[in-house]
Each structure stands twice: as C-alpha cells, then as structure tokens.
Amino acid sequence: MKNFYPEKPVVPYFNAKVEMSAIIEGLKSLDYTAEVKRTAYVIIRNETGNGKSVVCGTNIAGVQSDSGKWDEKYDDLISATCVKAENKTGKERGFVVFNTLDDGISFLLDKVQNRGLYIGGHVTKITDMQIADKNDLATAYLRTWVTGVSNYTPKQVEISNFTSMYNQAEKLFV
C-alpha cells in the first residue's frame, strides 16, 4: 500500500464516536449552500454509521491516503495518516487524519461542491450526470462515491435509504 503523504506522521488508527449534533453544527457553521450541506450530511451518515465510526475522530468521509494525493489546497488540513482494514473488503487501506473535525467537514463540503454532487449540480467524475432530483443524486452518489462504477444501477432500497436521509437533511439545512 502506497502512502501519498510520506511527509505526514502515521498514527495508530482509532475509531471515534462523534455525536451527530456536533457534525450538524459543523456543517451549519460553514458557508455552503443548503444543497451541498444536505449531500454532505447523507455522505457522513453513510460513511460513519451516523457518527459511530469516525476515523481518528476527524475523517467523516472515508478520505483515503493511499489512492493519490489530494489537491495541494488541502495539505494544511491533513495532520497525519493511519492504516485500517477496509470495512467491505478487509484489505488494509490508508486514511487521512485531519487536524480537526471541522477540517474534515470543510474538506467534504468542498469536494461535494467541486464535484457537482448536489441537486442542481452536474457530476463528471466517474459518471456524467445532471442532478435534477433526489433519485439522480442518489444514483450519482452511489456511482461516484461508493462504487466507482459509471453505469452502476442502484437497487431500490439504496435509493429509498438515501432519499430518507436526504429528507431529514432538508429539515436541518434550509
């Protein structure tokens, strides 16, 4: 496994539980549109099991350190890396550790916005889609963030689960 951040220390992995209320406040405190915050909220819930599994207490999006270097503008947000067995495959993977939880949230919001992964956005990474509604967003998310498969066809339960969380996000981020 290659670590694309050899200049950063490698720290022991630990699983942290972070209350969703703290994550919600972090999302609300940053200057992004409601649509971007709603998508980030759903991603965080999926990636962390509703805040129960946050990589080293700061990585709320499963951001990896072994798949390439992120844009230079994020370097100051990343304090270290860690190694953990991936949940789905059991394969050891490298993950970034952010300076703070807010830095992890800021990173995610920026990636969601820049990738066009929100209602009204247009994604071009992995799949090329205009996102007009929640179903489009769920499909784009599953293709670009979860599976990496450009023509992945989501199961109805995946769309329903995503839509349910998004409906909750609409009440939180107006």
pLDDT in tens, 143-170: 999 999 999 999 999 999 999 999 999 9
Amino acid at 19: E
| CA 103 to the chain's CA centroid | 12
pTM for this predicted structure = 0.94
The number of beta carbons lying within 10 Å of the beta carbon of residue 15 is 13
Task: Please give the Cα distance from 163 to 70 (Å, whole number).
Answer: 29
What is the rounded distance in angstroms from the CA atom of residue 153 to the CA atom of residue 159?
A: 10
